[in-house]
Amino acid sequence: MDHNQATNPGEILRFALNDVPATDNWQLATDNLAVSIGSSRGATGRLEEFHAEFLAEGRVPAAASPLTTLGNVASLVAFDAGQTGAAALSHSSTCSSAFQALGNAVAWLRAGMADRFLAGGAEAPLTAFTLAQMRAIGIYSPFGAADWPCRPGAGRPSTFVLGEGAAVFVLERGSRAALQAAGETALLLEGVGFGFEALGSKTGLSADGQHFQQAMRAALQQAAVAPAEIDAVVLHSPGTPAGDAAERAALRAIFGEELPLLLSNKWLLGHTLGASAALSLDFALHVLETQTWPTPPFATDVNGPALRLVRRVLVNAAGFGGNAASVVVTLGM
């Protein structure tokens, strides 16, 4: 059996957007709700605060360990969601962490190990120590906050900028036949793919983005769609010249010289590390629903005009260590 293919061609994985009330006391209570949340760094600010207290006073409060362990990223979300069974999974795969969570969702739902799956990413890295680490790599943007400092696709200089945020999605199994019979459309997760390249530099990547190519091919294969059926790509593109160029080289290897519409939201948010893939996915779903996106106020190859209706979107993510992930989403029936 080809494990990149869905086990049941009539089964769909849909985003259950309309089933979550927009209130502060919402619950998705079910005996078989699973949760997977990715975060590159976890409770960065709390950890730094407790460490500073330890250096100053030689002790830390009892809450230091449970409040800083990465495992509680998912368990706290599961508690708020009213989870009473299944699993709460936390993990770090650098900047593709949220798509690793979606991979868990696909596997668990298709295996019948969960009825619903809460998957996404969260990051709050805006601390002096984390900013210093990014600047030490030599990729941080020289532009001020009022000058749109993150500029994906704009070339040199490097314009990487840290941001913070979170996005979480409710996924559930469904029947394509039932959706068609009802005459309804739904936002569907069609494929998830992963890639990896082993390099000497843990912050580098190959010039032709081998890990991007692997991830995109795997996602397209699982979705059973050809490159020509992709209308737009939400890029990883963090504003670093080498990273931006490698991703575009990988796109040309998959799509040829005529690329789909290239989109990005990092020029508005910065790079949110472990949350960035989830926020890119949220942007892709917004594009599918509204057919609109903002135009950057600087020269770039992203967020231009559409040449056709955007019905299916590929979303890319990648991170330090050589990993990459891609998903395919559509508004279908």
15-66 tens-digit pLDDT: 875 444 444 544 555 568 889 999 998 889 999 999 999 999 999 999 999 8
Structure-derived torsion over alpha carbons of residues 69, 47, 137, 234, reported in degrees to the nearest 10: 50
pLDDT at 6: 46
* Domain boundaries of the chain, sorted by first residue: 12-127+158-332
Predicted confidence at residue 247, as pLDDT, reads 96
Between strands 232-234 and 261-263, the pairing is: parallel
pLDDT in tens, the chain (333 residues): 344 444 566 777 888 754 444 445 445 555 688 899 999 988 899 999 999 999 999 999 999 998 888 888 888 888 888 877 778 888 888 899 999 999 999 999 999 898 889 999 999 999 999 999 999 999 999 999 999 999 999 999 999 999 999 999 999 888 888 878 888 788 999 999 999 998 877 667 889 999 999 999 999 999 999 999 999 999 999 999 999 999 999 999 999 999 999 999 999 999 999 999 999 999 999 999 999 999 999 999 999 999 899 999 999 999 888 899 999 999 986
* The predicted structure's pLDDT at residue 125: 93
What would the pLDDT profile of 134-150 be if each residue is shown by its tens digit? 999 999 999 999 999 99
How far, in Å, CA of 32 to CA of 15, rounded? 17
pTM of the model: 0.91
**Fold exhibited by the domain 12-127+158-332:** Peroxisomal Thiolase; Chain A, domain 1 (3.40.47)
pLDDT single digits (tens) 82-110:
877 778 888 888 899 999 999 999 999 99
C-alpha–C-alpha distance, residues 317 and 215, integer Å: 9
